[in-house]
Amino acid sequence: MAPSFDHLRDEDLDEEDFDMDEVDISDLREKYEVSLEQGYDTFVVVDGLPVVTEEQKPKLVKFLLKKLNTVGKAREDSIDMPMGPDGKSKQFAFVEYSTAAEAAAAVRQLDFTPLDKKHTLRVNKFTDIDRYGREGRVEEEYTAPEIPPFEEQEHLRSFMADPSGRGRDQFVMFRGDSVGVFWNNEKDQPENIVDRPHWTETFVQWSPLGTFLTSVHAQGVQLWGGASWSRKRRFAHPFVNLVAFSPNEKYMVTWSNRPISIPDEGHPSLSLDDDGKNYVIWDVETSKPIRSFAQLDTPTSVDENGAPRKQKLPWPAFKWSADDKYVARLNPGSSISVYELPRMNLLDKTAIKIDGVVDFDWAPATVQRDGVKTYEQLLSFWTPELGSNPAKVGLMTLPSKQVIRSLNLFSVSDVKLHWQSEGAYLCVKVDRHSKSKKSQATTLEIFRVKEKGVPVEVVDTIKDTVINFAWEPKGDRFVIITTTEPVGPTAVAPKTSVAFFCPEKAKGNAVGNFKHLRTLDKKNSNAIFWSPKGRFVLIGTIHNQQSADLDFYDLDFEGEKPESDKDLTANLQLMNTADHYGVTDVEWDPSGRYVATWASFWKHKLENGYHLYDFKGEQLREEPIEGFKQWQWRPRPATLLTKEEQKAIRKNLREYSRVFDQEDAERINSADVAVVQERRRLLEEWYAWRAQVEEELAEEREVLGLPADPVADLLNAKTAAIAPGQEEQIIEEIMEEVLEETEEIVN
């Protein structure tokens, strides 16, 4: 109840011993104190200048102006460089910009700008200098910062060591409100490692090498890990929606659709410069923000009918090179901004201008091109037809920004770039329209990136529209899904065909031309999931009301090879077809031994839960779980074994597998024995209980003087009433059955 005068008691009104002076209002004063620094917001202090004399001063000022004017407007007379009594400058200057925004931009962009080899500019706000450097804020005596004693941290990769010694993989499950991490136990109940209610507010995500589990909250993102599953990092990005890591877990990008608003009292990790930004790039090691970006206001494009096209959020907006050295963002239609890590400065201080650029992608691995000795990262991009200029696909090398290969294309309606996992191939899927724009067809332009001169091979035997494409990881085969019908939001999913391609056999180490292996018609499939180790592929129908087939294929089937395929490097075999009603997601475990499929509560509310299959498509487990949302296998970092060691293992696989088979058999046997014993116990228990109950019942009956069967007398009485004095009636029914029929011709 809100206080009001009606409820005031007398003692509350007692003001006798109330002393104004005793009230401490210092906190209020601090809070509401009028800030006197206003008006100095346009000033910055430039530090780290070289020592100059009065004569050299104008030269330096001029030089400095060039730098300063890249972010705003500063005039010669707005630079005040104080000189010491010895006629030499004091290595700093005050600069006045025309607006506060320019001053802020100067601090953000010019701080740490190298002037020459010896000097680096430091730019600070004048008000900050005053705030931090005010009297009393800086101690007169220098005290060395205290270095906390070294604390042993727990091993973040302890998850690699399965306590059961079976090399099982972990996965996280998010169902209902709780998140749990489990060991995969194949057919048996997964072994729970940790389970916490309300661990995340929206979703969970592993970091790319499996070190951390990411939880997402309104206040920001948290990373968890180690054997204790304690919090390892936190990144306070308010109202964060999405998270993406760099491939090596060094950096993280967070995005919120709400621009960051820094409250007056400040923010624990973000500064005023981050105000109004949507993206923050963080250093995972230190949990410090490196740089923030605002959302690009993409011009709302219009389709042929003049209606505004639906804007899709480009995610990941920031794409990382394979080695975490660069991160790039597309400025649709004009350029690609490439930033250098760890400073997040724009590479060569300017975005790479590419007129009309629609999309780009980094090579997913650091590629060693034929005859190229220097360090490079590759990036592919494409531009549509502009006027009479053809559409273009380009392959650019960084940091030199040279386009090493480009391809001109005509009649292009859309292009998709598909890198093979090792960056050895880049497949450009080109959707072409005929002159009349009525029919569609797809060609595949495959860049052989590692070969000299980057030859491009064209696959143009496809008649229909390709709706899905996937390279075999670490391999050189691919699968496409095509449809003859236009793809649109139809109630019934279109009939599709699945086509397999592989290279021809070639001499030596060379990879032959890509050839069509087989096409399977009349499917509903719409998704391709390769095993992360290659060879096996699951092709399925997901997000479909009518059908949910999951086909498991082997591309290196060890059985007989059809004569027609003898020149090809694949032998295709359908291993199994499974059915998981309502499946929405599919994920292979990192070892390529198991596949999890699940029906997520986020997509629909029917039969939520998961299935677990082995790579052959044999179902191991099925568990319906109410409110099942998410499953994610814990990724594993790359193996530490050398190529030779891996080869040796593969050679002696038979030896190893014998040991493992034996272990498995023993484990299953002991589990079976346990189950049988448990059943035996249950059975004994039940019959013992029954015997006891029956005995009690008989006793009670006797005590009450009741007959053993309460109904027998009644039935006898009734029988007597129905047929008094009559014997039991026997009704016989004769059934005839023809056992055999034979025809005989007489004479």
Partner 1 sequence: MRPILLSGHERALTQVKYNRDGDLIFSVSKDQQICAWFAHNGERLGTYHGHVGAIWTIDVDPTSTILASGSADNTIRLWDIKTGKNLKTWEFPTAVKRVEFNSDGSQLLGVTEKRMGHLGTIVVLDVKIDVEAEQTDEKALTIVCDESKATVAGWSYLDKYIIAGHEDGSVSQYDGKSGDLNFNIQIHELDSPITDLQWSQDRTYFITASKDKTAKLITAKDLEILKTYPSDTPLNSAVITPKKDFVILGGGQAAMDVTTTSARQGKFEARFYHKIFEDEVGRVRGHFGPLNTVAADPTGKGYASGGEDGYVRVHQFDKGYFDFMYEVERERQNKLNQQ
Residues that bind partner 1 (CB under 8 A): 581-582, 606-607, 624, 676, 679-680, 682-683, 686-687, 689, 693-694, 697, 700-701, 704, 706, 710-711, 714-715, 718
Task: Name the strand (E) or helix (H) holding 313.
Answer: none
**Six token digits for residue 621:** 């487990």
CB of 711 to partner 1, least distance (A): 4
CB of 611 to partner 1, least distance (A): 14
Nearer to partner 1, 641 or 674 (CB): 674
Q: Quickly tell me which residue has 């007169």 as its tokens.
A: 140
Nearer to partner 1, 188 or 694 (CB): 694
Q: State how beta strands 496-503 and 79-80 pair.
A: unpaired
CB of 604 to partner 1, least distance (A): 10
Task: Name the strand (E) or helix (H) holding 476.
Answer: none
Q: How many other CB atoms sit within 10 Å of the CB of residue 238?
A: 17
CB of 178 to partner 1, least distance (A): 18
CB of 599 to partner 1, least distance (A): 11
CB of 174 to partner 1, least distance (A): 19
Q: Which residues pair with 607 in a beta bridge?
A: none
Q: How far apart are CA 223 and CA 284, in angstroms?
A: 9
Give which of 473, 480, 487 is closest to 459, Cα–Cα.
Answer: 480
Nearer to partner 1, 704 or 735 (CB): 704
Nearer to partner 1, 31 or 680 (CB): 680
Nearer to partner 1, 533 or 701 (CB): 701
CB of 705 to partner 1, least distance (A): 12
Give which of 321, 240, 252 is closest to 285, Cα–Cα.
Answer: 252
Q: How far apart are CA 511 and CA 504, in angstroms?
A: 7
DSSP string, 489-547: S-SSPPPEEEEEEEEBP-STT----EEEEEEEEEE---EEEE-TTSSEEEEE--S-SS-
Asked if 429 and 418 count as a contact pair (C-beta separation under 8 A), the reply is yes
Nearer to partner 1, 268 or 705 (CB): 705
CB of 691 to partner 1, least distance (A): 12
Q: State how beta strands 496-503 and 478-483 pair.
A: antiparallel
CB of 607 to partner 1, least distance (A): 6
Q: Which residues pair with 205 in a beta bridge?
A: 214
CB of 542 to partner 1, least distance (A): 16
Nearer to partner 1, 547 or 591 (CB): 547
Please, what is the Cα angle at 504 between 502 and 509, to 5 degrees? 105
Q: State how beta strands 318-320 and 326-331 pair.
A: antiparallel
Cα distances (Å, whole numbers) of residue 209 to 42, 185, 590, 712:
45, 22, 10, 75
Q: Which residues pair with 267 in a beta bridge?
A: none
CB of 550 to partner 1, least distance (A): 17
CB of 208 to partner 1, least distance (A): 35
- Burial string for 403-439 (b: 16+ CB within 10 Å, else e) reads ebbbbebeebebbbbbbbbbbbbbbbbbbbeeeeeee
Asked if 385 and 393 count as a contact pair (C-beta separation under 8 A), the reply is no
Nearer to partner 1, 641 or 706 (CB): 706
Ramachandran quadrant class, 45 (left: phi over 0; alpha: psi -120 to 50; beta: rest): beta
Nearer to partner 1, 131 or 187 (CB): 187
Question: Side chain identity at 145, as an amino acid letter?
Answer: P
Which stretches of 570-652 are DSSP H helices? 643-651
Nearer to partner 1, 386 or 697 (CB): 697
CB of 545 to partner 1, least distance (A): 8
Q: Is 215 exposed, middle or buried (0-12, 13-18, 19+ CB in 10 A)?
A: buried
Nearer to partner 1, 735 or 745 (CB): 735
Question: Side chain identity at 231, as an amino acid letter?
Answer: R
Nearer to partner 1, 506 or 673 (CB): 673
* Sheet with 170-175, edge to edge strand ranges: 191-197, 178-183, 170-175, 628-633
**Six token digits for residue 249:** 């877990």
Q: Quickly tell me which residue has 């030596």 as its tokens.
A: 508
CB of 17 to partner 1, least distance (A): 55
Nearer to partner 1, 88 or 543 (CB): 543
Three-state SS for 408-432 is: EECCEEEEEEEECCCCCEEEEEEEE
- Burial string for 191-203 (b: 16+ CB within 10 Å, else e) reads eebeeeeebbebb
CB of 194 to partner 1, least distance (A): 24
Asked if 243 and 315 count as a contact pair (C-beta separation under 8 A), the reply is no
CB of 706 to partner 1, least distance (A): 7
Nearer to partner 1, 28 or 712 (CB): 712
SS3 of residue 610 by DSSP: strand
Backbone angles phi, psi at 496, to 5 degrees: -125, 165
Nearer to partner 1, 25 or 715 (CB): 715
CB of 608 to partner 1, least distance (A): 10
Nearer to partner 1, 656 or 687 (CB): 687
Nearer to partner 1, 537 or 548 (CB): 548
Q: How many other CB atoms sit within 10 Å of the CB of residue 143?
A: 6
Nearer to partner 1, 294 or 683 (CB): 683
Give which of 425, 419, 432, 473 is closest to 449, Cα–Cα.
Answer: 425
CB of 704 to partner 1, least distance (A): 7
Radius of gyration of the chain (CA): 37
Q: How far apart are CA 72 and CA 61, in angstroms?
A: 15
Backbone angles phi, psi at 397, to 5 degrees: -105, 140
